[in-house]
């Protein structure tokens, strides 16, 4: 199954089941984390909306945490001249980074001038998970989504740690929906791509991850409890802008597409227009 979140006319969030390219709202009071935690138990409307009739919300909008992995693809470690990690190299992104399909990636040029893309497979946790074995780890996964681990490289590299450069508002597009595990039984062998303005910048396969999805879930659960709706970004393949020659960074007006086999395409545009909220 596929579940999306979108904003209704009054600004509230709605959960929908996605069928044949349409979104059918559920008669369900709550968000996707409520659904994951308590089960479906609701019918959907007979009227469906096309994807262009709705404003998408992030696939998950209030996770207790967003955990991301660095250097989890050998080719990306090599292009960045990084050492292959002995254990998953983890860092955090804050929930304010989340933005949905077709939402804008925004930054101020006064804060950063080196904004980069990173196509990633996102894992959505389905049940409370602590000290889980590798063998049982996938039982605790609800589903998968496309993600873009947007990164302010000048902040990331100058700080010496990654939280600020990874956690600016809108720096974690997530969507367009969640595909449940029955539709993607092997997350460790799917194609993953990133295109900027139609040009393919990243093209890889999750089979090249250093640590598999189940290894990552198990490792994390041994250090802190994972809760329903928690988001894990599993790393990015080679081709990011920072390590190209010359470097290539995102700019105002760019369109970024993250495409993952079996899930779909997450589309976002870039904006440096002044804003406040």
Contact assessment for residue 138 and residue 217, using Cβ atoms and an 8 Å cutoff: yes
**pTM for the complete prediction?**
0.96
Q: Tell me what pLDDT residue 42 has.
A: 62
Confidence at residue 167, expressed as pLDDT on a 0 to 100 scale: 98
pLDDT of amino acid 54: 95
Task: Determine contact, residues 73/89, Cβ cutoff 8 Å.
Answer: no
Which H or E run includes 270? Answer: strand 264-271
Q: Find the distance separating the first CA and the last CA of the chain, reported in whole Å.
A: 35
Per-residue pLDDT at 79: 92
Alpha helix positions (H), the chain: 32-38, 74-79, 153-159, 163-166, 213-221
Burial of 29: CB neighbours in 10 Å, binned 0-12, 13-18, 19+: exposed
- E strands, 191-263, in order: 191-196, 199-205, 231-233, 255-260
Closest among 35, 148, 36 to 97, alpha carbons compared: 148
The values of phi and psi at residue 123, to 5°, are -105, 130
Exposure string for 132-143, b = 16+ CB within 10 A, e = fewer: beeeebbebbbb
Sign of CA dihedral 90, 95, 97, 100: positive
Q: Which CATH superfamily is domain 59-271 in?
A: Fumarylacetoacetase-like, C-terminal domain (3.90.850.10)
Residue 211 near residue 73 (C-beta atoms within 8 A)? no
Distance CA 114, CA 101 (A): 22
Q: What pLDDT, on a 0 to 100 scale, did the predictor assign at position 274?
A: 78
- CA 131 – CA 146 distance, rounded (Å): 26
What does the alpha-carbon distance between residue 125 and residue 109 come to, in Å, rounded to a whole number?
35
For residue 257, the model assigns a pLDDT of: 99
pLDDT of residue 3: 97
CA distance 214 to 37: 20
- How many beta carbons lie within 10 A of that of residue 227, not counting itself? 18
**What are the average pLDDT values for consecutive 10-residue runs of the chain, which has 277 residues?**
90 89 90 90 79 96 97 92 92 98 97 98 98 98 98 95 96 98 97 98 98 98 98 98 97 98 98 82
Q: What CA–CA distance (Å, rounded) separates 274 from 269?
A: 15
pLDDT value at position 61? 95
């Amino acid at each position: 199954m596929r579940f999306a979140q979108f904003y209704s006319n009054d600004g509230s969030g709605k959960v929908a089941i996605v069928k044949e390219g349409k979104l059918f709202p559920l008669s369900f009071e709550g968000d996707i984390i409520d659904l994951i935690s308590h089960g479906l138990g609701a019918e959907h409307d007979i009227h469906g909306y096309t994807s262009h009739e709705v404003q998408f919300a992030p696939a998950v909008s209030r996770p207790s945490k967003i955990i991301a992995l660095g250097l989890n693809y050998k080719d990306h470690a090599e292009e960045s001249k990084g050492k292959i990690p002995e254990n998953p190299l983890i860092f955090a992104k804050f929930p304010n980074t989340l933005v949905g399909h077709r939402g804008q990636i925004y930054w101020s040029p006064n804060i950063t001038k080196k904004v980069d893309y990173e196509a990633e497979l996102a894992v959505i946790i389905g049940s409370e998970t602590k000290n889980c074995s590798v063998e049982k780890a996938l039982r605790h996964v609800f589903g998968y989504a496309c993600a873009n681990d947007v990164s302010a490289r000048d902040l990331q590299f100058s700080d010496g740690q990654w939280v600020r450069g990874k956690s600016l508002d809108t720096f974690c597009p997530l969507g367009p929906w969640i595909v449940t595990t029955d539709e993607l039984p092997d997350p460790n062998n799917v194609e993953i791509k990133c295109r900027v303005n139609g040009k393919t910048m990243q093209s890889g396969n999750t089979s090249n991850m250093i640590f598999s999805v189940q290894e990552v879930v198990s490792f994390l659960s041994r250090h802190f409890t994972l809760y329903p709706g928690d988001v894990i970004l599993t790393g990015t393949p080679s081709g990011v802008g920072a390590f190209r020659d010359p470097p290539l960074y995102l700019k105002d007006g760019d369109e970024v597409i993250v495409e993952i086999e079996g899930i779909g395409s997450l589309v976002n545009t870039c904006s440096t227009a002044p804003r406040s909220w």
